[in-house]
């Protein structure tokens, strides 16, 4: 191989990605992999996973690990750390705002809309997030801090496909 092994191998999202996998040749063998990198445009990366539903902007370092047997993923975990200012946008909340019950009073609809819009967009200075899934259950957290306060989002996923989400704003 030519070149410096410390330099990035793949360019992605105005950054770079490094990774490795190990696997057996038997169809039922275990396999493991990891990937880490830097994304200068985190929005392009989050848009690839959840277009129009959830996005973060700004630069970030990230890492992901996966462990599996055959086609079943046993463990999937990772984290990211923002390296500068950015913005959170929860586009999915626009769907909820559009579908507020028409029978609600104007005051109730307006207060609910204002509350959801406050959570929907948030400018941050620092960001950290992580996730850990074992089989089909797991959790993901996002902690953002900025001049307008902070946001901590946590999603819990249970094996029965039910999703529980907790949001706090300070």
User: For residue range 98-148, what is the model confidence (pLDDT) as tens digits?
Assistant: 999 999 999 999 999 999 998 899 999 999 999 999 988 899 999 999 998
Structure tokens at 9: 């191998």
CB-based contact 24:40 (threshold 8 Å): no
Q: Please check the confidence at residue 3 and state whether its pLDDT lies above 90.
A: no
What is the per-residue pLDDT for 139?
Answer: 92
Q: H-helix or E-strand containing 134?
A: strand 126-134
Which has the minimum average pLDDT: 3-17, 124-138, 146-160? 3-17
- Model pLDDT, residue 168: 52
CA 109, chain centre distance (Å)? 29
Share of the chain above pLDDT 90, in %: 45
Q: How far apart are the first and last CA of the chain?
A: 51
pTM of the model: 0.72
Q: Using CB atoms within 10 A of its CB, is residue 163 exposed (0-12), middle (13-18) or buried (19+)?
A: exposed
Task: Determine how many CB atoms are found less than 10 A away from the CB of residue 9.
Answer: 12
C-alpha 71/C-alpha 161 separation (Å) is: 19
């Amino acid at each position: 191989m030519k070149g410096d092994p410390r330099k990035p191998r793949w360019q992605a999202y105005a950054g770079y990605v490094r990774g490795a996998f190990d696997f057996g040749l038997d169809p039922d063998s275990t396999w493991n992999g990891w990937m880490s990198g830097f994304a200068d445009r985190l929005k392009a990366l989050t848009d690839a996973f959840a277009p129009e539903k959830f996005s973060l902007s700004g630069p970030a370092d990230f890492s992901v690990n996966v462990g599996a047997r055959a086609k079943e993923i046993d463990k999937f975990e990772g984290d990211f750390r923002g390296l500068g200012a950015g913005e959170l946008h929860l586009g999915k909340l626009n769907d909820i705002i559009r579908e507020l019950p028409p029978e609600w009073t104007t005051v109730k609809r307006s207060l609910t809309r204002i509350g959801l819009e406050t959570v929907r967009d948030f400018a941050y200075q620092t960001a950290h997030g992580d996730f850990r899934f074992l089989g089909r259950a797991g959790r993901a957290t996002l902690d953002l801090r900025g001049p307008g306060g902070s946001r901590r989002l946590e999603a819990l996923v249970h094996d029965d496909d039910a999703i529980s989400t907790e949001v706090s704003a300070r």
